[in-house]
């Protein structure tokens, strides 16, 4: 059976490799299956482009489509395009949206045959065998949602993958690696890759969804990470990696072992990562710097301790300040992530957050607007609040491509507890202007560039960014 895995189109100019599809492709190939991947985002395909490609390269027995919460609408259009061009193929969707709302997704799109809940590494292998031989029966595949003559059936959930080291290496050869261009400031070199070395999150931030990998935190061992890095370096010439884990320095002992082992390996890699502010200290950042790390992106979110507490962040503003201080002292650059519109947000708390961003003075800032992502506590609370509305929970706005990014289009369901969405969006644009257009920052900005490639990426994106922040003012 021929299998196709699809990443839907997007108008964002910085495509990100769909690591979930790379894991599924690896699992299928390890099981002896024939797999193709079409990353329509990386290929810059429109929906008509997608249909023409499908008409030329099909058919397939099974087509899998990844759909995240903000990309539901384009994901549904992608499924419908696939059905028009591959009428005989079975279609399965996976990702955060179907994991959180599988019945809703299938009810809203008749072209979907199956939905996967949670981690699909083994589920998709079981499904292929079932479609080919009838064994196992569809009803015996944990985590599968499927159609029956009497309606949509949801099987009991599947356990999480316990040992990440046992998973095959990602199917990098099926993806156009040179097309994955990270947005500024991440791109230092042309040869770039993204990795995730853990699954699950033990924290309980109110706005995050854990519909796919749950709360059980699991990590790859250092030897397994080094094996993947050597493969990327030797086979594809990768010289820069960004670890997209929610909190790469956790657990601390693994981080220290990783840094020392990477240093001893002699691999010529620059790397960056995302971290919680309570996961770093002087020793951690010193070892990271010595092992080739150049930037840490910290989730700060708010300058109000009351907002952080209500969002269940689990850290203090004192820890925020300390994390940025020790990271700067170690000679690492910092990116601060901030959010607007969290529960309890007011004009006063927004101003506190802007002032904190100026006080911390990271090398770069990135703002987002709180969205009601399915599978998050915030989304569930909103559904409960809307349950008495004549439209019921389904009256919550549908998800399109996030408009909170200056490089994206569409809409999301935004939280408007105290402030209207238009005011929040204007406040975010103003926060960008107050940070990036400071005369002192503009004078220092060129000194932050580490390579010509990075400088060119800033110039390329700068015009669009400036137009966006001024258009919202």
pLDDT digits (tens, 9 = 90+) for 182-209: 888 888 877 899 999 999 999 999 999 9
104-136 confidence digits (pLDDT tens): 999 999 999 999 999 999 999 999 999 999 999
Q: How confident is the model at residue 391 (pLDDT cuts 50, 70, 90)?
A: low
- Average pLDDT along the chain: 91
Pick 153 or 467 by higher pLDDT: 153
CATH 3.40.50.2300 domain extents, the chain: 2-154
What pLDDT is recorded for position 469?
Answer: 66
As a whole number of angstroms, the distance between CA 300 and CA 315 comes to: 9
Mean of pLDDT values over 55-82 = 94
What predicted TM-score, i.e. pTM, was given to this entire model?
Answer: 0.92
Judged on CB neighbours under 10 Å (0-12, 13-18, 19+), 390 is: exposed
Digit-coded pLDDT (tens) for 300-329? 999 999 999 999 999 999 999 999 999 999
Angle at 357 (CA atoms; ends 353, 361), nearest 5 degrees: 165
Q: In this predicted model, which residue has the larger pLDDT, 373 or 26?
A: 26
Superfamily of domain 2-154: Response regulator (3.40.50.2300)
Domain with CATH 3.80.30.20 in the chain: 182-471
Parallel/antiparallel/unpaired status of strands 198-199 and 218-219:
antiparallel
Overall residue count recorded for the chain in this entry: 473
User: What is the strand order of the sheet 2-7 is part of?
Assistant: 34-39, 2-7, 62-66, 90-94, 114-116, 144-148, 151-154
With residue 329 as reference, give the H or E element that holds it: helix 317-329
Average pLDDT in the 410-426 region?
71
pLDDT at 404: 37
* Whole-angstrom distance, CA of residue 77 vs CA of residue 71: 10
pLDDT at residue 405 greater than cutoff 50: no
Cα angle value 103/105/108 (rounded, 5°): 105
| Percent of residues, the chain, with pLDDT higher than 90 | 76
239 to 65, 270, 341: CA distances (angstroms): 30, 6, 38
- Tens of pLDDT, residue by residue over 331-359, are 999 999 999 999 999 999 999 999 999 99
CB 37 within 8 A of CB 5: yes
For 182-471, CATH number out of 3.40.50.300, 3.40.980.10, 3.80.30.20, 3.30.830.10 equals 3.80.30.20
Tell me how far CA of residue 380 lies from CA of 96, 104, 394, 404, 456, in angstroms: 15, 14, 12, 21, 43
Which pLDDT belongs to residue 400? 39
């Amino acid at each position: 059976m021929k299998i196709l895995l699809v990443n839907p189109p997007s108008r964002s100019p910085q495509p990100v490799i769909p690591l979930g599809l790379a894991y599924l492709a690896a699992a299928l190939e390890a099981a002896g299956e024939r797999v193709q991947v079409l990353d329509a985002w990386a290929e810059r395909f429109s929906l008509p482009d997608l249909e023409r490609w499908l008409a030329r390269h099909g058919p397939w027995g099974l087509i899998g489509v990844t759909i995240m919460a903000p990309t539901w609408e384009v994901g549904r259009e992608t499924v419908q395009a696939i059905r028009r061009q591959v009428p005989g193929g079975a279609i399965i969707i996976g990702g955060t949206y179907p994991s959180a709302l599988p019945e809703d997704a299938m009810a809203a799109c008749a072209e979907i045959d199956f939905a996967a809940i949670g981690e699909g590494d083994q589920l998709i292998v079981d499904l292929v065998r079932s479609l080919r031989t009838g064994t196992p029966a569809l009803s015996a595949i944990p985590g599968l949602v499927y159609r029956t003559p009497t309606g949509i059936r949801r099987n009991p959930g599947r356990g999480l993958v316990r040992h990440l080291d046992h998973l095959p290496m990602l199917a990098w050869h099926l993806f156009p690696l040179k097309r994955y261009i990270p947005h500024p400031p991440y791109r230092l070199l042309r040869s770039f890759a993204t990795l995730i070395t853990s699954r699950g999150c033990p924290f309980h931030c109110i706005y995050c969804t854990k519909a796919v990998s749950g709360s059980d935190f699991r990590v790859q061992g250092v030897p397994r990470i080094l094996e993947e890095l050597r493969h990327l370096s030797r086979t594809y010439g990768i010289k820069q990696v960004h670890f997209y884990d929610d909190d790469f320095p956790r657990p601390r002992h693994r981080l220290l072992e990783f840094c020392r082992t990477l240093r001893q390996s002699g691999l010529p890699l620059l790397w960056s990562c995302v971290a919680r502010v309570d996961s770093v200290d002087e020793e951690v950042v010193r070892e990271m710097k010595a092992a080739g790390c150049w930037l840490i992106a910290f989730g700060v979110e708010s300058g109000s301790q009351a907002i952080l507490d209500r969002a269940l962040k689990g850290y203090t503003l004192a820890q925020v300040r300390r994390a940025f201080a020790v990271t700067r002292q170690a000679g690492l650059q910092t990116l601060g992530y901030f959010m607007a519109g969290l529960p309890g947000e007011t004009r006063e708390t927004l101003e506190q957050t802007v002032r904190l961003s100026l006080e911390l003075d990271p090398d770069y800032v990135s703002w987002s607007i709180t969205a009601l992502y399915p599978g998050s506590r915030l989304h569930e609370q909103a559904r409960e609040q809307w349950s008495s509305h004549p439209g019921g929970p389904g009256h919550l706005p549908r998800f399109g491509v996030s408009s909170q990014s200056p490089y994206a289009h569409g809409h999301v369901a935004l939280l408007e507890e105290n402030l209207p969405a238009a005011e929040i969006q204007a406040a975010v644009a103003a926060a960008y202007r107050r940070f990036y257009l400071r005369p002192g920052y503009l004078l220092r900005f060129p000194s932050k560039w580490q390579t010509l490639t990075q400088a060119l990426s800033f110039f390329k994106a700068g015009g669009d960014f400036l137009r966006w922040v001024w258009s919202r003012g």
